[in-house]
Amino acid sequence: MTENHEYTITKKIKLANSIYLMDIKAPRVAAHCYPGQFIILIADEKGERIPLTICDYDREEGTVTIVFQALGSSTKLLADYEVGEAFRDFTGPLGQISELVKMPGEELRSKKVLFVAGGVGTAPVYPQVKWMKENGFEADCIIGARSKEFVILEEQMKRYAKNVYVTTDDGSYGMKGNVNDAIKHLIIDKKHNYDIIVAIGPMIMMKFVCILTKELGIKTIVSMNPIMVDGTGMCGACRLTIGDEIKFACVDGPEFDGHLVNFDEAMKRLSMYKTVEGKKLLREREGDTHHHKGCECHDE
């Protein structure tokens, strides 16, 4: 493994089955990053570029916290790294700072905010909730997971959120049901009022949260995680349709107005990127946005 000591792993915790948290020594990223932004990690000389949303950062220690699920071959390889070993590259901070962090203080103070964190998406929610508390703003948080063993960062979230509500699909912990059941319970049954919902999790979850919150008339911010390659707006891999505009998650996002996101298109693109034929089809259709040879669409 690489000799580069700048990106050394200083902490590794298994949060749940196949979900890992790591602190990485990356002083330059730690000095400049904010909630909502992401990094691109390359483990070794042969490693793929892996985009991960920042879960936490410690400016004094010079560390950045990442959370990932070891599902594909690249992330499984990451999970084999241990404390003291180092990654080859750790580029960031990339993308835009979270909308709430950029909002003027007086405006944010007048808003009731609910975070909806789904599964591994709890990791990118955490720095936003922490930032809110540290800057004098309150927020509630729903953590949704398939079952008890997949609930992550609950204790950490409780330190910063005013109220944390846990829901599991199988009812093994907290409320039984998906995150929409929890949103309905809070807003319709308990009559809680929220002005802004921030939903981060699987695309299918964000899609259905947005359908519900549109009906309820509540502004909703989502963090999109399409395929990313270069992370600089050049390759077109992370292209999304937002309202009637084309946007690139890596430079324009990853946060967007959830009520404007074309989720069906985004999910279709995600599945097309998994096959060589699908990649070629995207390249033929979107030629001019794929103007950079670094993109995986260019197989030749």
Of the pair 9, 205, the CB lying nearest ligand NAD is at: 205
**Cα(51)–Cα(40) distance, integer angstroms:** 4
Tell whether residue 146 is a contact of ligand NAD (CB under 6 A): yes
C-alpha pair distances (Å), 133 with each of 43, 171, 198, 249? 33, 29, 15, 27
Residue 200 lies near ligand NAD (rule: CB under 6 A): yes
Rule CB under 6 A: choose which of 44, 230, 286, 296 binds ligand FES.
230
Q: Using alpha carbons, select from 29, 88, 27 the residue that is nearest to residue 62.
A: 27
Q: 216-242 in b/e burial notation, b at 16+ Cβ within 10 A?
A: eebbbbbbbbbbbbbbebbbbbbbbbb
Q: Which of ligand FES, ligand NAD, none is residue 258 near (CB under 5 to 8 Å by kind)?
A: none
Residue 229 near which of ligand NAD, ligand FES, none (CB within 5-8 Å, type-dependent) = ligand FES
Say whether residue 208 binds ligand NAD (CB under 6 A). yes
| Residue 95 near which of ligand FES, ligand NAD, none (CB within 5-8 Å, type-dependent) | none
Residue 242 as a binder of ligand FES (CB under 6 A): the answer is no
Q: Where are the alpha helices (DSSP H) in 151-223?
A: 154-160, 179-184, 203-216
Nearest CA among 107, 121, 114, 186 for reference residue 150:
121
Given CA atoms 79, 81, 84, 90 in this order, what sign does their dihedral have? negative
Helices and strands (H and E) in the chain: how many = 11, 16
172 in contact with ligand NAD (CB under 6 A): no
Is residue 231 at the binding interface for ligand FES, with CB under 6 A as the rule?
yes
Check binding of 229 to ligand FES (CB under 6 A): yes
Q: How far is the CB of 144 from ligand NAD (least distance, A)?
A: 2
Q: How many residues bind ligand FES (CB under 6 A)?
A: 12
Under rule CB under 6 A, residue 141 binds ligand NAD: no
Note whether 226 binds ligand NAD by CB under 6 A: no
Quick one: which of 163, 41, 62, 44 has its CA closest to 114? 163
Closest distance to ligand FES from the beta carbon of 66 (Å): 18
The verdict on 38 binding ligand FES (CB under 6 A) reads no
Task: Give the phi and the psi of residue 208 in degrees, each rounded to 5.
Answer: -75, -30
Residues that bind ligand FES (CB under 6 A): 228-231, 233-238, 248, 250
